[in-house]
Structure 1
């Protein structure tokens, strides 16, 4: 059991401050965040150039330490040494809250293991900011971050989430957005979706509609910039959109990859709503038809 009193009972060690930064508009920086960045002994930054521009904008001169996914494991011991010496460190990402889609979580866990205080500062979050204006239910919701890049891994991931009733939030690259939406359409059906980009900037944009509508929109009017996808959760009415013929290709893929038919049928039954026996029987019937 670990109890942290963030501002009382000093233990002679420094504190690790997790500081949110603007997701676009510089004016979204909080007074408290600026105060902490000016007071700490060093700032661990995902990209020192990006954070350097932020500090310059607000007239702050501070020591920057590069801390990103490629050097995190080497940097963490160095940062822990500074914290053990009583130095305060702020960790920031390029935009939004740290520890989301950056190695901050590893640093937090390592700091907590050494009884170092970890103090979060409220700040901007693209996922929540987009969600509250999406028009889709804000509660309950699930945030997943970036989807797997490989199509096969992405599909497998989506299959496990298809029956979730919560509104789902994803990050995606503009270069993969259409392929991702086509994959979601195949697995989820034609649900409501909101695409958000350039949050808090002059080109802020929301595209709301069904997945097919959004795909048509992207065909005629492509987008730039990082995207936020907010998807409607599963509702009972979605089920009729699936039929055995749309599920059988998934079953064939699993069997072709070496999975036993019985196991593949059972796993697909959990995410499609069909009975394992139905899938098993349909597979054999298809095979028999192909042999005739």
Structure 2
């Protein structure tokens, strides 16, 4: 690694850490009133940022998902500030109280249990309310599990969609995947370790056998990234759910893949058997394959009529 020049000016080492006014914040200085969206580590405590510690140390209160989790973080940082629970179950009751404090000029830090707030949590409603009330809001970037998994996956990252958690039930999960099947981007999901094998199998059934990656325990001691096809990963985790937090990254659809008529019929029949109408099944497969919708609709209609005829003769 290149060593810095001995005569390099000290100021050059501070570029990129400058605040809005072009200087580093002074330790112990009070931030301006407003809402601060503070990213926290997803595993490795070394990933906490200088700005995050500064704001957490000076905040009038810290709004958090779980006060026990955030309490441990604050203890490790040597900080002691009031913690206020703010999560999906109490957001409607807690939000007015937080807004009242903000209107009174308080410095409020919003954190999630780990990573960047507003990713799979109700924080965006608080931000929206602050914007409506003309209350200052700023974000302190930092660790993010979806972005870290995307970086490590080895899959295209020029265009991606974070889809959060899929539904627990298989039917609803497959329906959600059908809605995503036509998206020309890499897909990023959170998933429970206990449901991982089932979810990967559903992804393969609905999205096709795309390249994918399963990232777990990111930035922690036992970090692991498994890269393979959805079929292979589904088999790997079918009877051996992993430990720790999991992020699944799935490659985009192959726009150049040639779909045989037989494969197209199989996919149409599968969609209709799952409850899709002829029109919806045709639209989905047309989006996936790039084939003309009118042509695929004709095939789907023919298959549906053949199925009805077979049912009448049995």
TM-score normalised by L of structure 1 = 0.89
Residue by residue, what CA displacement relative to the aligned partner does 1:94-147 show, whole Å, maximum 9, x if unpaired? 000001111101111111110001110011000111111211111111111111
Match of 2:310 among 278, 289, 292: 289
Residue 143 (str. 1) matches residue 137 (str. 2): no
Q: Which residue of 2 aligns with 1:276?
A: 297
Question: Partner of 1:254: helix, strand, or coil?
Answer: coil
Question: Partner of 1:247: helix, strand, or coil?
Answer: helix
Question: Partner of 1:86: helix, strand, or coil?
Answer: coil
Q: Which residue of 1 aligns with 2:76?
A: 57
Give ranges in structure 1 of 5+ residues lacking alignment: 1-5, 256-260
Matches of 1:290 and 1:239, distance apart in 2:
32
Matches of 1:122 and 1:195, distance apart in 2:
24
Higher relative contact order (CA 8 A, sep 6+): 1
How far does residue 166 in structure 1 lie from its aligned partner after superposition? Answer: 1.1
Matches of 2:123 and 2:48, distance apart in 1:
20
Matches of 2:285 and 2:308, distance apart in 1:
19
Match of 2:232 among 213, 216, 224: 213
Q: Which residue of 1 aligns with 2:195?
A: 176
Larger radius of gyration: 2
CA contact (8 A) 2:198 2:234 kept: no
Where does 1:156-167 land on structure 2 (aligned, <5 Å)? 156-167=175-186
Residue by residue, what CA displacement relative to the aligned partner does 1:63-86 show, whole Å, maximum 9, x if unpaired? 110111100000000000000001
CA contact (8 A) 1:43 1:64 kept: yes
CA contact (8 A) 1:268 1:276 kept: no
Matches of 1:262 and 1:189, distance apart in 2:
20
Moved more, 56-65 or 209-218: 209-218
Question: Partner of 1:236: helix, strand, or coil?
Answer: coil
Residue 95 (str. 1) matches residue 114 (str. 2): yes
- What is the number of residues matched between the two proteins? 278
The root-mean-square deviation of aligned C-alpha atoms, in Å, is 2.0
Matches of 2:257 and 2:189, distance apart in 1:
20
